[in-house]
């Protein structure tokens, strides 16, 4: 397997497919790089080099006891970019992964970055922060942590309904549901729980203020997990010159439910860079 070691010695797994301008993908919670396979294959077939990694604690990466915070996640991305010596890379982050790539730009700048894509992302803030009272109430995150500790397998299985909008007219295959659960159960329970705290408490407004590359924000307006009005809508307003695409009635997991549309929108954006 392709792996690299981070600053603290954690071994991280990654995929590196195709040739051309590089595009680096950061996955959502509680998934891993496999969530991107459709996008990776499509873009590689269209002349791009695509890289996706399993966040520390998830998938095929090592499971350290500590380090589940956004400064460390950004450092891990920086280590991967340096490991592969990527230049003019477009960063794509979904859900909590949108925080990863935003914090990367906030901490390390855009010298190696050509573009940024935020998909259903937790930016500018997901939970309630100072001066950001519109965030999701802390009791929601408490419930997630409690559910994971009590019965992670059933909690993740139930979570698929709002994640994919199965209660709002969307459909996905039994295979997708099985894969989602299988991926989630590969992860460290500690990492899965700690990441909930990370995306509840991290404020990305300072990171978004530093974004100075072309940016595309895509969000579903029926996202029951990361509400559009307090995340994607505001992120697009806060990033200078950002383009916003709103998928009507799309759920959080629109990389699956709106797979073809997303693939085409990503390709179109990349072709403008």
> Which residues are part of the catalytic machinery?
95, 223, 252
Distance CA 90, CA 21 (A): 8
DSSP string, 157-223: HHHHHHHHTTTTT----HHHHHHHHHHHHHS-HHHHHHHHHHHHH-B-HHHHTT--S-EEEEEETT-
Q: DSSP secondary-structure letter at 136?
A: B
Cβ count within 10 A of residue 193: 19
Distance CA 237, CA 243 (A): 9
Distance CA 79, CA 240 (A): 27
Cβ count within 10 A of residue 238: 17
């Amino acid at each position: 397997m392709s792996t690299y070691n981070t600053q603290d010695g954690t071994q991280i797994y990654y995929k590196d497919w195709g040739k051309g301008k590089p595009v680096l993908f950061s996955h959502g919670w509680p998934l891993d790089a496999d969530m991107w396979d459709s996008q990776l294959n499509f873009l590689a077939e269209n002349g791009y080099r695509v890289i996706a990694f399993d966040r520390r604690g998830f998938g095929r990466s090592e499971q350290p006891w500590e380090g589940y915070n956004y400064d460390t996640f950004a450092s891990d991305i920086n280590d991967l970019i340096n490991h592969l010596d990527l230049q003019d890379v477009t960063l794509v982050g979904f859900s909590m992964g949108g925080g990863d790539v935003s914090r990367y730009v906030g901490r390390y700048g855009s010298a190696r970055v050509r573009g940024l894509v935020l998909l259903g992302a937790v930016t500018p803030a997901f939970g309630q922060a100072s001066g950001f009272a519109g965030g999701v109430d802390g009791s929601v995150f408490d419930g997630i942590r409690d559910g994971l500790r009590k019965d992670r397998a059933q909690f993740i299985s139930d979570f698929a309904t709002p994640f994919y909008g199965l209660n709002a007219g969307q459909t996905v295959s039994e295979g997708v549901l099985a894969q989602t659960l299988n991926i989630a159960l590969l992860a460290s329970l500690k990492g899965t729980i700690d990441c909930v705290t990370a995306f509840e408490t991290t404020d990305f407004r300072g990171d978004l203020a530093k974004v100075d590359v072309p940016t595309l924000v895509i969000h579903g307006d029926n996202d029951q997990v990361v509400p559009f009005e307090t995340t994607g809508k505001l992120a697009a307003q806060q990033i200078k010159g950002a383009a916003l695409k709103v998928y009507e009635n799309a759920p959080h997991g629109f990389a699956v439910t709106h797979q073809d549309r997303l693939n085409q929108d990503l390709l179109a954006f990349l072709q403008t860079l």
